[in-house]
Structure 1
Amino acid sequence: MKSLLLLILFSPLITFSQISFKGVIVDSQNNPIQFASISINQTANGTYTNEKGIFYFDSIQPTDTLKISCIGYESRSILVKNLSDTILLQEIAIEIGEVVIKSEYTRELIGCLKNKDRGNDGGINGYIVGIQINNISSSYLESIEYYIKKPKTLAPNLFFLHLYKLGPNNKQSPILSQRISIPTNEKGWVKIDLSKQFIKVEDSIFIAFETVPNPEYFKNVKEVPIVNMSEYDAAIIGWSKLKQVTDVKLRAGSYATGWHTWSYDDFAGLGYHIPMIRATVRY
């Protein structure tokens, strides 16, 4: 009987503590603030103002605290019992860090960076030579250059350009194979522009030039054959011996009679110039 009496006595207090509330949030110019966030007691419970800055709670306690926030305004925390129908938020200045827009890429030259008076003299028809470049940062290949010292023939220099990506254990994945015809009067660094092909490179790549002795074959072949570089992996000359770049290696093989393994002395003894190949990447 006493428990029932106590319940009856306290019921009006419980009912009285739950209230509804309708308010509007405005700025210093009395303009409504749309989509401001109102949370109860810093929990996920709450609501947002509508397009007229109005918000509404069906049931809320006078002892609750509302946190009102919106981007560009100072947040406020107010007890429900102290709320007025109109709530003012003050604007704050938002500092935006400096944004620098660059019209140019960062470019880096990789591969054979020094000219030691070496290069193809136009007389190595039937051979394929190339360089392996390691430790490349993720970038895009913009161009490849091949150094030609001096031509020995009146015919254009005809090449198949091969580009490979190197994975674990030097596993080779072809990226590009295409015809390259360099006019006979060209000498020095001859550049092949690849900027419009958006070739992404990273870690290690292998660039090879295959000299084509037969102009008719060069002209009529429908698809440039992919060369299996693993067939002459043993034909590697470390550029460190030439006091060049330690991240570059040279390979050489015979187009006509099969691949040969040549030491540096053997290769130089044949009267050939060490080919110079380099590339430009952009970040």
Structure 2
Amino acid sequence: MYTSKLVLLALCGISNLLWAQVSTVQGRIVNASTGASVPYATVGVPDQSVGTVADAAGRFTLKLASATDRLMVSCVGFEKREVRLVGGQLTGGAQIVLQPVAQALGEVTVRRDKLRPGTIGRRARHDAIIGKNDTDLMGHFITGDDQGWEGGGIYQFGRASYLDTFHVYVGRNPCGMIRFRLNFYAVENGIPTRSLFTNDVQFVLRSQQTGWVAVDLRPYNLRVEKQQKLAATMQWLESAECTAKWPPFVVPASFPSFHQSVIRTKSEDQWQVHGAYPSMYFTIQSE
């Protein structure tokens, strides 16, 4: 009896070892319409903190520590796609094709002549350590597996508005360079869901850049509907020379707050919602 159990345990160990040997998935993500690479598309295991981001050439490498039979591949402006795995490998070959989202005619809007300027979000920049009632819920500890981390806030728009500029205060930045994607989601039942726009908005932080960072959104002509609840997040795409695990990357946030911040570790992970107000805001033009 004991011998049988030992043999079974040994077989299980061999099985796990074999899985570990084939747990690296590699591929290239391309545009179905043009055949061109889709840079910085995200790849993740559904509902798990496992995933990565493709590079500028659309290529990715994902290490899987446990068995899974599917991955979700997505990028702003493209339809999300599920791909199957057998034995830790892609079943349809190393090339993953994404279909561009068709832009409806109604998405092309023209600004009215009379608009009212304003802001929405938190303009305070108190440091997470020094500021009263501040915390670093928007902090991210550098791990070397940072691609896909995402954090931001939820905003309620009373009037139909155009987004002119996105502002974020970076309290700490131990990296040589960080590329972010600015994502915009509809909010349902308090959780970010579908992408609101098809525009891929990216920005880059220079070496150890801190302070207020502004991203010009006017070229994208982004319009938010009246009473729209929107989640705006910064998604970590790539970085360089992030050698220090401390101090972490930090966007300060006021806590506690009736405002909400959202964070997830990878692109297909479940969202975490906190009662915090990150130092992020928009300048807007309202109708």
- Identify the structure with bigger relative contact order (alpha carbons < 8 Å, sequence gap 6+): 2
Larger Rg: 1
More helix by share: 1
Instruction: Report the TM-score when normalising by structure 1.
Output: 0.43
TM-score (norm 2): 0.42
